[in-house]
């Protein structure tokens, strides 16, 4: 595949999502797929869900137009796994679902990826690599799901990460991986017009679960080899650095506060930035900028000698640690006294 064919996938996905989302919005309203206002939510009227339908449809259809891509067993496995999570999202968005059932679905979707031959390979022990692969897929899937807490946030993060995965894999000669990444980016960007800055539809779990799952699979499918193992491992971790950063921050803070890390809450990094004083629009843009910075660092260390890559990596980690320390000092209990700081 050449870059024209890859861009073709990107634009097909974007075009489908852009055209399909208004229709999905009408369907969601008609069949009661709505997010109703609550005391801790900003929107004053019921908001249609199911934006993820257009994202998934755009992603899948655009890939089906490329026989060379869809012929690969890992790509077919990704589509099947994404379909499973899509169905789980449909059920959850309509009537809710117990976390254990959602986790079971994620485990099944991860198993399909592993059965196709994909797994994290930097660990020599086969069984340990399988365990780490499960943790990676389920962890990233949930990280994107939890970041769907402000208009445009999860879709924008996913689009930025997918674009960088697409660029790096293309430069590495993995054109089919690049096509999968750009198909996801196109679907997310086609949808985001209706979700940001003022949303007329939410993606729901149908979107956030699929986005996280596909991104985790792309990270495993790609070959991110650099001069040394350390930077090779860090390329996909940096591209998905913000979801990992947010999940780590929330988990550490809840452990220190002796709270369950699995409970919901308004203590994510986006909430903390809003409490510092940034409007929701600016908060999302700041997070986009951080994601672009992390993607650029991943692109840099994948193309430079380790003597340059290691200092860049260390500097990036230090910057994110300093950001984490600053956000950890925010008093999230102020939520009740600062109504309007959050989107959901």
Confidence of residue 341 (pLDDT cuts 50, 70, 90): very low
Compute the distance between CA of residue 341 and CA of residue 244 in angstroms, rounded to an integer.
23
pLDDT per residue as tens digits for the range 26-66? 999 998 888 876 644 555 578 999 999 999 999 999 999 99
Q: Are 76 and 84 in contact (CB under 8 A)?
A: no
Structure confidence at residue 333 (pLDDT): 74
H/E run at residue 46: none
Bridge partners of 327, per DSSP, are: none
Query: Which DSSP category does 65 fall into?
Result: T
Helix, strand, coil share (%) of the chain residues, nearest 5: 70, 0, 25
- 192-240 per-position pLDDT tens digit: 999 987 899 999 999 999 999 999 999 999 989 888 888 899 999 999 9
Q: What's the token pair of residue 202?
A: 């939410």
Region at 183 (left for phi over 0; alpha for psi -120 to 50; beta for the rest)? alpha
Is there a cis peptide before residue 265, judged by omega within 30 degrees of 0?
no
Percentage of the chain surpassing pLDDT 70?
94
- Taking the C-alpha atoms of residue 172 and residue 158, their distance in angstroms, rounded to an integer, is 21
Q: Which residue has the higher pLDDT, 225 or 107?
A: 107
Q: Answer yes or no: are the C-beta atoms of 78 and 115 closer than 8 Å.
A: no
Q: What Cα–Cα distance (Å) separates residue 288 from each residue in 117, 216, 292?
A: 33, 19, 6
Cα maximum dimension of the chain: 58
Conformation bin of residue 161: beta by default, left when phi > 0, alpha when psi is -120 to 50: alpha
Distance CA 137, CA 44 (A): 35
Classify 277 in phi/psi space as left (phi over 0), alpha (psi -120 to 50) or beta: left
10 Å Cβ neighbour count for 146? 19
CA–CA gap between residue 239 and residue 47 (Å, rounded) = 31
pLDDT score at 290 = 97
Q: Are 222 and 49 in contact (CB under 8 A)?
A: no
Per-residue model confidence (pLDDT) at position 300: 95
pLDDT at residue number 326: 95
Q: Report helix, strand or coil for 121.
A: coil
Q: What is the pLDDT of residue 46?
A: 84
- The closest alpha carbon to 298, from 116, 150, 167, belongs to 167
Domain ranges in the chain are 3-337
pLDDT, tens only, 240-277: 999 999 999 999 999 998 888 877 788 899 999 999 98
DSSP 16-32: HHHHHHHHHHHHHHHTT
Q: Is the pTM of this model over 0.75?
A: yes
Coil vs helix vs strand at 240: coil
Rounded Cα distance between 317 and 297, Å, is 10
Query: Cα separation of 124 and 307, whole Å?
Result: 26
The pair of structure tokens assigned to 131 is 């365990």
pLDDT of residue 230: 86
**Per-residue pLDDT averaged across 93-107, rounded?**
90
């Amino acid at each position: 595949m050449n870059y024209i064919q890859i861009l073709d996938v990107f634009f097909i996905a974007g075009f489908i999502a852009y055209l399909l989302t208004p229709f999905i919005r009408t369907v969601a309203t008609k069949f009661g797929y709505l997010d109703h206002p609550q005391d801790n939510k900003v929107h004053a009227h019921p908001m249609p869900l199911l934006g993820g339908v257009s994202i998934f449809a755009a992603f899948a259809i655009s890939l089906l137009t490329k026989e060379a891509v869809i012929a690969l067993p890992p790509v077919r496995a990704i589509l099947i796994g994404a379909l499973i999570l899509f169905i789980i999202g449909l059920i959850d968005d309509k009537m809710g679902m117990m976390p254990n059932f959602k986790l079971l679905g994620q485990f099944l979707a991860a198993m399909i990826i592993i059965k196709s031959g994909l797994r994290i390979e930097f660990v020599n022990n086969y069984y340990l690599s399988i365990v780490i692969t499960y943790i990676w897929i389920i962890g990233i899937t949930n990280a994107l799901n939890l970041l769907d807490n402000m208009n445009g946030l999860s879709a924008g993060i996913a689009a930025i990460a997918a674009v960088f995965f697409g660029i790096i894999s293309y430069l590495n000669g993995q054109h089919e991986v690049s096509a999968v990444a750009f198909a996801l980016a196109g679907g997310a960007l086609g949808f985001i017009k209706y979700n940001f800055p003022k949303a007329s539809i939410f993606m729901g779990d149908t979107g956030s679960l699929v986005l996280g799952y596909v991104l985790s699979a792309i990270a495993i499918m790609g070959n991110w080899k650099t001069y040394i193992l350390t930077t090779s491992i860090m390329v996909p971790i940096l591209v998905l650095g913000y979801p990992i950063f947010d999940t780590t921050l929330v988990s550490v803070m809840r452990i220190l506060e002796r709270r369950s890390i699995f409970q919901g809450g308004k203590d994510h990094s986006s909430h903390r930035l809003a409490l510092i004083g940034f409007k929701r629009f600016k908060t999302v843009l700041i997070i986009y900028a951080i994601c672009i910075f992390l993607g650029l660092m991943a692109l840099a260390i994948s193309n430079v000698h380790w003597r340059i890559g290691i200092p860049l990596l260390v500097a990036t980690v230090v910057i994110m640690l300093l950001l984490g320390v600053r956000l950890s000092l925010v008093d999230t209990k102020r939520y009740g006294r600062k109504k309007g700081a959050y989107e959901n």
